[in-house]
Amino acid sequence: MADTKTVAPKEGAGTRLWNWLTETQVWKSIFRHDRPDTDRTRVLVMLSNVFLHLHPVRLRKSGVKLRYTWCMGGLSFFLFLSLTLTGLLLMFYYRPTLEYAYNDIVGLREHVPLGIMREMHRWGAHAMVITVWLHMFRVFMTGSYKPPREFNWSVGVIMLVLTLLLSFTGYLLPWDQLAIWAITVGSNMARATPFLGHEGPGASLLRLGDVPLIHAYDDARFALLGGSFVGEGALLRFYVLHCVGLPLGIAFLMAVHFWRVRKDGGISGPL
């Protein structure tokens, strides 16, 4: 076990105030343990705190080293939380309709003094894509996907896809030229889905006599955009997916991912 220092409390006004505070009924009702400066209280703080209980009580030394973890998984989670928070604030000011969407963004930019919520949301989203990639990179390079962690790697891959989709759906919402053309380029691919896109190979085989079953108004791209082009239907669809559907999905998988990190033996290390 690693040595941990116990700092002797110094006498002074601050210490007396601290001692008084931690003895009050209110404090003791919130924190069910003493200062985490002994082995016993360090265990208790992990077991009695709902936020900290995601952690084990103890972990491998390499698990706290930047050299080993690069901190990228943790940062991805942190960025997700900060995106949830800034996204929530943005939702107060944004209406996903052709009439309002662009003007609401202009309003955010022009009428909010020192406003950086949109910037934090956008840069945070870009950063999260990068941290997720680097997390995956680190996990690969340390062979951490190997048994017993195979399934958790697979969950992680799905979360990677959801991260990209979250970023992709959010890209449309400002409803400027950058947004619709990026989504147009991206979603045009769906039109070439084999069998399910109207310009995909095999789609022309799906027909009843002369009536094609797959055309521009019912193919995969139509399902994605809620229309045959990036319009009002796509904006609403992307908004709902961006704010509700995909975050729910990724939060659910995060629960599985973190749970499995613990259940598969904590952070990886040599056997």
Partner 1 sequence: MGFLKGIINALADPRLFFILAVASLVVLVWKRERIAANSVGYGLLGVLTVFFVFGSFDPNFRLIVTKPDNVPIVGLIFLLVFFTWYSVREGVLNDRRIAAGKGPIEKEEADRVWVWPDLVYTEMISLIVCSVILIVWSILLKAPLEQPANRSLTPNPSKAPWYFLGLQEMLVYFDPWLAGVVLPSLIIVGLICIPYIDKNPKGNGYFTFAERKAEVTIFLFGFVILWVSLIVLGTFLRGPNWNFFGPFEFWDIHKLEALTNVNLAEYIWVRGLRTGQPTFWLTREIFGILLVLFYVFALPVILGKTWFKGYYQKLGAPRYYVGAFLFIMMMALPIKMLLRWIFNLKYIVAIPEFFFNI
144-163: contacts with partner 1 (CB under 8 A)? 144-147, 149-150, 153-154, 157-158, 160-161
DSSP bridge partners of 207 = 212
Q: Are 207 and 199 in contact (CB under 8 A)?
A: no
Q: Print burial letters for 216-235: b (CB count within 10 Å at least 16), e (below 16).
A: eeebbbbebbebbebeeebb
Residue linked to tokens 């002369």: 210
Q: What are φ and ψ of residue 5, in 5° steps? A: -85, 145
Q: Using CB under 8 A, pick the residue from 31, 93, 100, 229 that binds partner 1.
A: 229
| Binds partner 1 by CB under 8 A, chosen from 94, 96, 174, 242 | 174
- Nearest-CA neighbor of 196 among 208, 216, 214? 214
Considering only 17, 185, 206, 223, the residue that binds partner 1 (CB under 8 A) is: 185
Cβ nearer to partner 1, comparing 25 with 210: 210
Member of 203, 241, 243, 250 binding partner 1 (CB under 8 A): 203
Q: How many CB atoms lie within 10 A of CB 245?
A: 16
Residue 244 is which amino acid?
Answer: V
236 binds partner 1 (CB under 8 A): no
Which residue number, 16 or 161, has a Cβ lying nearer to partner 1? 161
Shortest reach from residue 14's CB to partner 1, in Å: 19
Measured from the CB atom, is 30 or 271 closer to partner 1?
A: 271
| Count of residues that bind partner 1 according to CB under 8 A | 104
Tell me the closest approach of the beta carbon of residue 209 to partner 1, in angstroms: 18
Distance CA 75, CA 86 (A): 16
Minimum distance, C-beta of residue 10 to partner 1, in the bound complex (Å): 18
Binders of partner 1 in range 91-150 (CB under 8 A) = 102, 105-106, 109, 116, 118-124, 126-127, 129-130, 133-134, 137-138, 140-147, 149-150
Among positions 31-60, residues that touch partner 1 (CB under 8 A) are 36, 39, 42, 45-46, 52, 55-60
Q: Directed axis angle between helix 177-188 and helix 232-240, to 10°?
A: 90
Q: Are 246 and 166 in contact (CB under 8 A)?
A: yes
Per the structure block, which two tokens stand in for 92? 């107060």
Q: Which residue lies nearer to partner 1 by CB, 70 or 239?
A: 70
